[in-house]
């Protein structure tokens, strides 16, 4: 899980132009990073590519509001 979190930190830091150490499991994409729907779609595309998980479904996307949500989602996908 720590590896997934660290990789997500890299992806988010690059996409949102923030420092990796500013990103925690509780970081909210909308509230803390000011992400809009386009940003979130781009982030999910980066996740799909980085973790080779296939396409994230729209109903799954709606559950991802924090970095922790993404890490837990990816952990489930990769362990499944």
pLDDT for the residue 58? 86
CA distance linking residue 6 with residue 68, whole number of Å = 11
Residues labelled catalytic: 36
Q: Model's pTM, two decimal places?
A: 0.92
**pLDDT range class, residue 80, cuts 50, 70, 90:** confident
Q: What are phi and psi of 27, to 5 degrees?
A: -60, 125
Give per-residue pLDDT as tens, 6-60: 999 999 999 999 999 999 999 999 999 999 999 999 999 999 999 999 999 989 9
pLDDT for the residue 15? 96
Q: Which domains does the chain have, with CATH numbers?
A: 2-79 (1.10.1200.10)
The separation between the first and the last C-alpha atoms of the chain, rounded to the nearest angstrom, is 14
pLDDT for the residue 42? 95
Cβ-Cβ contacts under 8 Å for 46 (sequence gap 6 or more): 11, 15
CA distances to 1, 58, 71 from 76, in Å: 10, 17, 9
């Amino acid at each position: 899980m720590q590896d997934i979190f660290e990789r997500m930190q890299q992806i988010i830091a690059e996409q949102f132009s923030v420092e990796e150490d500013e990103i925690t499991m509780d970081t909210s994409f909308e509230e803390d990073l000011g992400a809009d729907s386009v940003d979130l779609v781009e982030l999910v595309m980066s996740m799909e590519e980085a973790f080779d998980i296939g396409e994230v479904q729209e109903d799954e996307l709606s559950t991802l509001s924090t970095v922790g949500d993404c890490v837990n989602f990816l952990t489930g996908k990769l362990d499944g």
